[in-house]
Structure 1
Amino acid sequence: MIKKIIPAVLMLVFVVGGVFAADMLRPSPVSTSHEGGDHGGSGKGDHADDNGKGDDDHGGDYDAKQTAGNYYFNFSRQFVVPVMQSGRVQALVILDLNLEMEQGDADGMFSMEPKFRDALMRELLALSNEGYFTGQLTDPERYDEIQKALLRAARTVKDEIISVLILDFARQEQ
């Protein structure tokens, strides 16, 4: 009988201990104030922890992070760009992008994500058709050209964008 109870009790102790430890290790939220009733770009309320993640339940992974006076908007999902050759998808390029702007310009970013995604995706498809995602992806000049093209596209939606940061960049062959 005791042999059956001990594993259950130990599992309960480990779960409770894990929850307690996770709660203790979680960084405290940093409050940012925003005027108006919108999300002010965070999409996760007005709180963001040290890794940019909000802590309320508005859905999605809309993130914004304030650092050194600038605001970083993280898109809810990655950009997936097909690389075509002879009318067929040869590969997929996957990019994780952030937009950098001054904190005061970050208001309304949550609601503007569809416009930004559309502008950036159009530019990514154009770059793919021009052959920017074939060959050597690690070439610094090519990387800079892609980043500049994405910045021009983002500025068609909101001119105050300082830069488009490419956090992850990968190519998956089909």
Structure 2
Amino acid sequence: MMKKILILLVPLVSLAAGVGAGSLLKPEAETPGESDHGAEAPAPDEAPEYVKLSNQFVVPILRDGQVGSLVILSLSLEVRPGQSEEVYAKEPKLRDALLQVLFDHANAGGFDGGFTEGAALSPLRQALKEAAQVALGQIVTDVLISDIVRQDG
């Protein structure tokens, strides 16, 4: 039993460490204009702020009742200027809402096949944005998927 657990945990810990290291070496935020997922554009004199959520999201993909894969994502929010603290103040509620969207997406098969194609990620981005707006209000103008990886077991 312990051997089975170790066989599953070692690759996951290695993956998490690699993704974490990659996140640390990656620039913190996109510059305005790099993301055009249909977000409302702020006024030209008001550049949006980008808030990188502190922890990654880990989504198990079940196959025949067993964890067959894990999808690990890093998300950032595009928010109206001066609203970063509001995001951090409500982060537990926000993470819960975003995780529910990710679990629903996984259960619908959204992380199968070519899940990184633009057409496949667009509905996920929209659902994440809507969930973030329910949790935080209209301060959220977009949700950015800054990292995504699927680890098949």
What does 1:8-157 align with in structure 2 at a 5 Å threshold?
51=28, 69-157=47-135
Deviations 1:97-149 (A, max 9, x none): 00111113334222211111000001100111000011112221111111111
The unaligned stretches of length 5 or more in structure 1 are 1-49, 53-67
Moved segments of 4+, more than 6 Å: none
Q: Pairwise CA RMSD of aligned residues?
A: 1.6
Higher-Rg member (1/2): 1
Counterpart amino acid of residue 173 in structure 1: D
Distance of 1:131 and 1:114 partners within structure 2: 26
Gaps of 5+ in 2: 1-26, 30-45
In 2, Cα distance between the equivalents of 1:71 and 1:148?
A: 19
Tell me the distance in 1 between the aligned counterparts of 2:75 and 2:86: 18
CA distance in 1, matches of 2:116, 2:110: 11
In percent, how many aligned pairs have the same letter? 36
The TM-score with structure 2 as length reference comes to 0.67
Equivalent residue pairs, number: 110
Q: 2:143 aligns with which of 143, 147, 164?
A: 164
Question: Aligned pair in 2 of structure 1 residues 135, 159: CA closer, same or farther (>3 Å)?
Answer: same
